[in-house]
């Protein structure tokens, strides 16, 4: 199976206030995902705070990942950077450390044109010599990939997938048909935006690039497998169980909520990198309630679901 298929779990990257990686905490999170049998790990994605970390710390994160779960679960590494030369260096670092794939967003302070993004991606794909996924994340980068640009990039060596934002109006089927017509059947298409993961999979997307799976991989995997099997009733029940968390993601941003979850579950005790601030007490109590609701649904579920917890 392609690295860009199934459930890809995106953990936070535990680090202190100076940006120094906590390798032991990261290893625990990654082992948790691997033991849950997710399909891949998305290391140093937006949830992984890649933009806040130095090249050295990003290299240490990849090395920690490969030492911990390398060969047991595919690891895709985010290599986004403002300068093409820096992204090239990060791609080579990931390759040297043994990563299985790359994720690249067009990070920029100056708004980019399509040809600039094309050249940027072509350079990084060539330097990394690993399967690369296009990260179409206009909410962060303020750059939206056109269908034509995705089509052009799909023909570049090593570029094999795209990570899409949720479509306006939720029409996954039409967007998937357009993308597949423009890129070919071998090119993998997945979605981020966790509350759209279930409908995207039911519509036939290849991948759910999931934030929540970075800390709750078993529950996210149960939802993924139900959707892949076309079990609509189970998907609806599981997705409703996640509903309070999806509401918190939309209100506060999944980044902040994930750090709160990590603390509440005693997975690691770190705050988000400044200037991002931790959630306030009232919001944290809502996270507690959301986790309790999720746990109640899965605890009352089938034997298979209980085994996945």
Question: Which among 50, 95, 135, 259 is annotated as catalytic?
Answer: 135
Residues 291, 56: Cα–Cα separation, whole Å: 35
Q: Are 49 and 259 in contact (CB under 8 A)?
A: no
Q: Distances from the Cα of 59 to the Cαs of 96, 156, 160, in angstroms?
A: 10, 26, 23
φ, ψ for residue 46, nearest 5 deg = -60, -40
Q: Is 47 annotated as a binding residue?
A: yes
Examine the residue annotation and report whether 209 is marked as an active-site residue of this protein: no
Examine the residue annotation and report whether 135 is marked as an active-site residue of this protein: yes
Burial readout 163-178 (b: 16 or more C-beta within 10 A, e: otherwise)? bbbbbeeeebeebbee
Question: Which among 163, 188, 209, 259 is annotated as catalytic?
Answer: 163
Q: Are 128 and 160 in contact (CB under 8 A)?
A: no
Binding positions: 47
Catalytic residues: 135, 163
Binding positions for pyruvate: 47
């Amino acid at each position: 199976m392609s690295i860009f298929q199934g459930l890809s779990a995106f953990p936070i990257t535990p680090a202190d206030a100076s940006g120094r990686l906590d390798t032991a905490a990261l290893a625990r999170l990654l082992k948790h995902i691997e033991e849950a049998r997710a399909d891949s790990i998305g290391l140093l994605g937006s949830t992984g705070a890649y933009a806040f970390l130095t090249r050295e710390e990003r290299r240490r994160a990849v090395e920690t990942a490969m030492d911990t779960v390398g060969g047991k679960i595919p690891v895709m590494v985010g290599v986004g950077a403002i300068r093409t030369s820096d992204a090239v260096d990060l791609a080579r670092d990931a390759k040297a450390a043994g990563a299985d794939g790359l994720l690249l967003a067009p990070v920029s302070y100056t708004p980019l044109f399509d040809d600039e993004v094309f050249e940027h991606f072509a350079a990084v794909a060539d330097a990394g010599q690993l399967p690369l996924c296009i990260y179409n994340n206009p909410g962060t980068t303020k750059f939206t990939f056109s269908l034509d640009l995705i089509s052009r990039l799909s023909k570049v060596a090593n570029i094999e997938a795209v990570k899409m934002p949720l479509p306006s109006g939720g029409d996954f089927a039409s967007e998937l048909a357009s993308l597949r017509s423009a890129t070919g059947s071998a090119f993998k298409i997945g979605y981020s935006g966790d509350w759209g993961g279930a409908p995207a999979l039911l519509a036939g997307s290849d991948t759910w690039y999931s934030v929540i799976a970075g800390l709750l991989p078993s529950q996210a995997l149960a939802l993924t497998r139900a959707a892949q099997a076309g079990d609509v009733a189970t998907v609806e029940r599981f997705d409703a169980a996640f509903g309070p968390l999806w509401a918190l993601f939309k209100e506060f941003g999944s980044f902040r909520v994930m750090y709160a979850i990590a603390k509440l579950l005693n997975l690691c005790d770190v705050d988000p990198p400044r200037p991002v601030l931790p959630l306030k007490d009232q919001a944290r109590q809502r996270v507690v309630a959301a986790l309790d609701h999720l746990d109640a649904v899965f605890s009352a579920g089938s034997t298979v679901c209980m085994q996945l917890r």
